[in-house]
Amino acid sequence: MISDHPTTSVLLVEDDRNMCYLLQDNLFSNGYKVETCHDGKEGFRRFRETHFDLCILDIMLPRMDGFQLAAKIRLINETVPIIFLTSRSMEADKLLGFKTGCDDYITKPFSLMELNYRIQAVLKRSPKHADQNGTYNFRLGIFEFDSRSRVLKSTGGPEKKLTPKESKLLKLLCEKKNELVTRSFILNHIWGDDDYFIARSMDVYLTRIRNLLKPDQSLEIINVYGTGYQLLEK
Amino acid sequence: MISDHPTTSVLLVEDDRNMCYLLQDNLFSNGYKVETCHDGKEGFRRFRETHFDLCILDIMLPRMDGFQLAAKIRLINETVPIIFLTSRSMEADKLLGFKTGCDDYITKPFSLMELNYRIQAVLKRSPKHADQNGTYNFRLGIFEFDSRSRVLKSTGGPEKKLTPKESKLLKLLCEKKNELVTRSFILNHIWGDDDYFIARSMDVYLTRIRNLLKPDQSLEIINVYGTGYQLLEK
DNA sequence: AAAGATGTTTAAAGATTCTTAAAACATCCT
DNA sequence: AGGATGTTTTAAGAATCTTTAAACATCTTT
């Protein structure tokens, strides 16, 4: 089968090595780029670190089941299509209540042909936010910011090297420049979790970013009480 | 029996010299390229050093048993087929729980015919990731890097000879250029193990590689705190 | 204005990574 | 075998990054 998708990247989370390997091989030979892992937590960590066009999640997984994983994925990406691998005993109810428009599920045992068909269908429906993670460079007031090398350069000034967390936070704010970003959105995207202490940690980073941006008076990160933040470029 | 496999290379790890020789001879006369060793640790060392298309592992082995060995092999190669040699007393349970889709096992005593049949079956199932180790030359900024001769040539500059470990590390980073590579991935692939001290050792090599790449400002190995590294080419 | 909730800042503790030097180990050569 | 040379690991302290803690400020509601 010849590929018609330049490099669609797939996150495959499957506990059973046997099955995992079979699927990986099938996907690979269909031209997809595949990353596999074998438990939910690792799956989520991967998802946060990289960009994927499709997730295939087993339901029964160690450390965090497929539903929980999908829920966490949905918190940070509303659109990426997810295909669940279920066992026959799974009640369709639970699944139907869960999956969104772009998702699908397939009951084990299934044929590879069937899976491939569903993948194609699900990708066709998916809006392909192509540029989702494609932008790494931002122009921001007097600054230029490269989120990959984590360098914030002020035109005609010195450049500063940011830490990974600083960089992610600034990137997120840049992506949503002049938009309101909720606290929980930031927390789930960058920290992958949202509790009291992590929120305090975020406060610290907000302060740092504000300090970094101080040289340019036209930039401001304003707080919307009880809701979130907004990076304004005046 | 005439071979239909150009040069399928087999790693045979068998404690019992007698048996080992018998098998080696049989494999050899079937056209396989065979390397033998007699304990688990040595087996793993070999596996890391060379490329094999098939592993035949006795379960009872000195220094590290066949299961442990297989587990470590799986960490650095998810797909190579493994055939276990078990004694009759071995509970099939343990084995079935362990082996993945491409693997098989055979209970001693067995006929050579039976073994050969299983080898063919297992190889047929295996997808032969042909290009797995195929790329040795990399273009990297102002450099050209040949990971086999371990030479890093800077265009119009002097060439440097790398040590084996340096070379492996740089090769791995080149293969995953612009991707995030986790610490444990590097450790398991290059050192075959992942503990505190080996991680410190890796730090040392990272420093060296960074120094080697310093002449080209556009190259950078950035650290993602708590996760891994990324070789960026800007 | 008071009280509670939420946000900001600074300091410092804890964790991880980086660097350098020296020790241990390996290989080559005579 | 023994010395020279090259490679890898160990060790230890410095540097960097992240989280925790706590004190203070601001906002909202009553």
What integer best gives the mean pLDDT of chain A? 84
Query: CA torsion A179→A183→A188→A192, rounded to 10°?
Result: 130
CA distances from residue B229 to A201, B48, B174, B176, B186 in whole angstroms, order as listed: 23, 21, 12, 10, 9
Residue in A closest to B74 by C-alpha = A17
All residues of chain A having their beta carbon less than 8 Å from the beta carbon of residue B100 are 17-18, 21
Q: Alpha-carbon distance A21 to A33, whole Å?
A: 14
All residues of chain B having their beta carbon less than 8 Å from the beta carbon of residue A21 are 78-79, 100-102
Identify the pLDDT of residue B128. 57
Ranked by mean pLDDT, the top range of A10-14, A110-114, B107-111 is A10-14
- CB within 8 Å: B78 and A36: yes
Protein residue at shortest CA distance from C1' of D12: B200
Q: Rounded mean pLDDT of A148-171?
A: 89
Protein residue at shortest CA distance from C1' of D22: A200
- Cβ atoms within 10 Å of B228's Cβ, excluding its own: 18
Distance to chain A for B147, nearest Cα, Å: 24
All residues of chain A having their beta carbon less than 8 Å from the beta carbon of residue B102 are 21
Q: Rounded mean pLDDT of A107-114?
A: 84
Q: Alpha-carbon distance A123 to A213, whole Å?
A: 40
- CB within 8 Å: B78 and A24: yes
The residue ranking higher by pLDDT, B100 or A22, is A22
- CB within 8 Å: A21 and B78: yes
Find the CB nearest A149 among B222, B224, B227. Answer: B222
All residues of chain A having their beta carbon less than 8 Å from the beta carbon of residue B180 are 49-50
Bridge partner list, A85: A58, A106
Bridge partner list, A152: A145, A160
- Distance D30 C1' – A229 CA (angstroms): 27
Q: Rounded mean pLDDT of B123-142?
A: 70
- Whether residue B53 has pLDDT greater than 60: yes
- DSSP-based helix, strand, coil % in chain B, nearest 5: 40, 25, 35
Identify the pLDDT of residue B30. 87
Identify the pLDDT of residue A10. 92
Q: Alpha-carbon distance A128 to A132, whole Å?
A: 9
Find the CB nearest A149 among B179, B220, B223. Answer: B220
Identify the pLDDT of residue A208. 92
Here the contacts of B184-190 (C-beta below 8 Å, separation 24 or greater) are: B185/B228, B186/B228, B186/B229, B188/B72, B188/B75, B188/B76, B189/B76, B190/B165
- CB within 8 Å: B79 and A21: yes
Angle between helix A40-49 and A66-76 (nearest 10): 20
Q: Alpha-carbon distance B146 to B138, whole Å?
A: 6
Nucleotide nearest to A161 (CA to C1'): D16
Query: CA torsion B111→B113→B116→B122, rounded to 10°?
Result: -80
- Distance C19 C1' – B232 CA (angstroms): 22
Q: Alpha-carbon distance A66 to B97, whole Å?
A: 22
- CB within 8 Å: B127 and A25: yes
- Distance C5 C1' – A76 CA (angstroms): 27
Distance to chain A for B51, nearest Cα, Å: 19
Q: Rounded mean pLDDT of B4-33?
A: 86
* Contact between residue B40 and residue B61 where contact means Cβ atoms under 8 Å apart: yes
Q: Rounded mean pLDDT of B41-67?
A: 87
Identify the pLDDT of residue A1. 44
User: Measured from the CB, is A164 under 7 Å from any atom of strand D?
Assistant: yes
All residues of chain B having their beta carbon less than 8 Å from the beta carbon of residue A45 are 227
Q: Alpha-carbon distance B73 to B70, whole Å?
A: 5
Identify the pLDDT of residue A90. 65
The residue ranking higher by pLDDT, A129 or B217, is B217
pLDDT > 70 fraction of chain B, expressed in percent and rounded: 87
pLDDT digits (tens, 9 = 90+) for A191-232: 988 888 899 999 999 999 999 999 998 999 999 988 999 999
- DSSP-based helix, strand, coil % in chain A, nearest 5: 40, 25, 35
Residue in A closest to B98 by C-alpha = A17
| Short-list A130, A26, A115, A37, CA closest to A80 | A130
User: Measured from the CB, is A184 under 7 Å from any atom of strand C?
Assistant: no
Q: Which nucleotides of C are covered by protein (CB under 7 A)?
A: 5-11, 15-21
pLDDT digits (tens, 9 = 90+) for B160-204: 899 889 999 999 999 888 888 888 889 988 888 888 899 999 999
The residue ranking higher by pLDDT, A156 or A53, is A53
E strands, A89-225, where? Answer: 104-107, 137-140, 143-146, 151-154, 159-161, 180-182, 219-224
